[in-house]
Structure 1
């Protein structure tokens, strides 16, 4: 299947009305799908936003017509009870006329600590996620559900407004995660272009082979700007947290913690890992490892809320043309 390219509704860097406007613009210039982060906090205070993703997606579902929509990703274990996630995912799928995929993950302390339930160890978080998926799947059958697990209880719950299906993707980072969650999910979600992830997924007893029944959905940041120095400065100001890696990022509790953990990250360090500036071919080269690793869907993160309108109006369409040409074997143009 042709590689699909998506646009990220980065709730950490724009307000709700702006996100809906950008979603419409992204559809108009030709993005295939749109993913939304689901945060209570921005990563860094400089980003400055954190609207409720599900309200934004509901509005986006009505404002758009073609693009697929997805959470990238929601944690259904602490801030949200899985029974509530099951209900709102079903409602959003109805609003989106079948264009929605529920993307799930084990979460970050940054967002989940706010309800005062603490931050479990990684093994417990993984077990909680598996149990939450079991509950969500059960409720999406339309049956009355009673559940007593190690982490969650559900008493006589039923989803009344139910779509035909809600596809489910799960974020994993290695073979152990795929072994545990591959059989539970429809699609693979990952942020590193590791071909071993796709190979391992295809070898599990999951719901299908990537490229046939399943999708492998990746994400990569970029910072387009006419001025490369301005792009590097913006990426450093708002996205240097990305350099910490998910083992670190999952456990930091506040924006102040991310600021302290990244205080010695230099602009040059960020520019080495994130394509910055007007060179669209550099973005293609950065994205290329994903489709070469077997990823079917790749979402772009354009860094900086104030840069979205110009990016969509000026750079997005030629960038999509270059990406599609390169991914189909035509090379960057």
Structure 2
């Protein structure tokens, strides 16, 4: 059965609003909630970037049923992996075992803020591999001394460990990242409905003899609104950066850079890649590509803070029913 999630999009909403939306999303029937983890929005028009971990702690206490994800945290520069391990263990306790730690190699937009520069893709992957190993070791509860290529951990252990172990999901975008992270993580994260990514992940884990069910967690932006023109305009104002692709988006350092890179993107261009307007069938068809590619979990990003209440009150319930019917 495909699980459908709601994205707590920290780039477009403040922390109190996100907690309120999280409660409403659980009540309307979403299976999980995934929080982005940014220090800056992609575009100034989005206007927010509260701390994801503080917000998720509040969400964990305000909700009872939904699974929670970071989608995704970069544990290599802005956060030391030892700090991420402690955050994940604490959040898992607060969430009573509902949390999965989503990790990725990050974006310059968020990681440059600590003044350590921006490494090459290969170095970022190597840093993430080492970070995951450190996080795994600390989540075991054992005392850890570590002197690696990128990180040191000095006589450290976690004192508060959850009863339910923290599962780790890793973001991948191609064969090289699959080879790097499928042996280290439990689940896959990707933002494109690429069947080869999912099959490659499963094949790599099977070849390594790794046990357990491995989930594939995807994410898709939508812009529901009773007025299609308003939806297209809102998607263009806040989400035109999306078309740049990961190779470009990972390297741009500021919202001004994203604005410049997307200045020639037209509203019609955005509407061709993001379902906009009141047509729920069109949204279902856009999401269909993910479950047909083998994704087990699909998170929806409803674009625009000002649209969240109405989306959750009017559209989310019927949309979830349509998605579950079509994917069954």
**Can you give the 5+ residue segments of structure 1 that lack an aligned partner in the other structure?**
329-333
Partner of 2:251: 251
Deviations 1:41-81 (A, max 9, x none): 00100000000000000000000000000000000000000
Q: 1:162 is paired with a residue of what secondary structure?
A: coil
Contact 1:202 1:208 in 2 (8 A): no
Partner of 2:68: 69
Q: 2:170 is paired with a residue of what secondary structure?
A: strand
Partner of 2:297: 297
Partner of 1:104: 103
**1:275-286 equivalent positions in 2, closer than 5 A:** 275-286=275-286
Partner of 1:40: 39
Contact 2:183 2:210 in 1 (8 A): no
Deviations 1:198-231 (A, max 9, x none): 1111111368889x61100000000000000000
Deviations 1:250-278 (A, max 9, x none): 00000000000000000000000000000
Contact 2:2 2:297 in 1 (8 A): yes
Deviations 1:68-114 (A, max 9, x none): 00000000000000000000000000000000000000000000000
**1:143-154 equivalent positions in 2, closer than 5 A:** 143-154=142-153
TM normalised by structure 2 equals 0.98
Q: 1:223 is paired with a residue of what secondary structure?
A: strand
Deviations 1:267-316 (A, max 9, x none): 00000000000000000000001000110000000000110000000000
Partner of 1:331: none
Contact 1:215 1:297 in 2 (8 A): yes
Partner of 1:161: 160
Root mean square deviation, CA, Å: 1.2
Q: Report how many aligned residue pairs link the two structures.
A: 326
C-alpha spacing 1:30/1:39, structure 2 compared with 1 (3 Å): same
Partner of 2:218: 218
1:316 aligns with 2:310: no
C-alpha spacing 1:237/1:133, structure 2 compared with 1 (3 Å): same
**Can you give the 5+ residue segments of structure 2 that lack an aligned partner in the other structure?**
none
Deviations 1:136-182 (A, max 9, x none): 00000100000011100000010000013000000001111111100
TM normalised by structure 1 equals 0.96
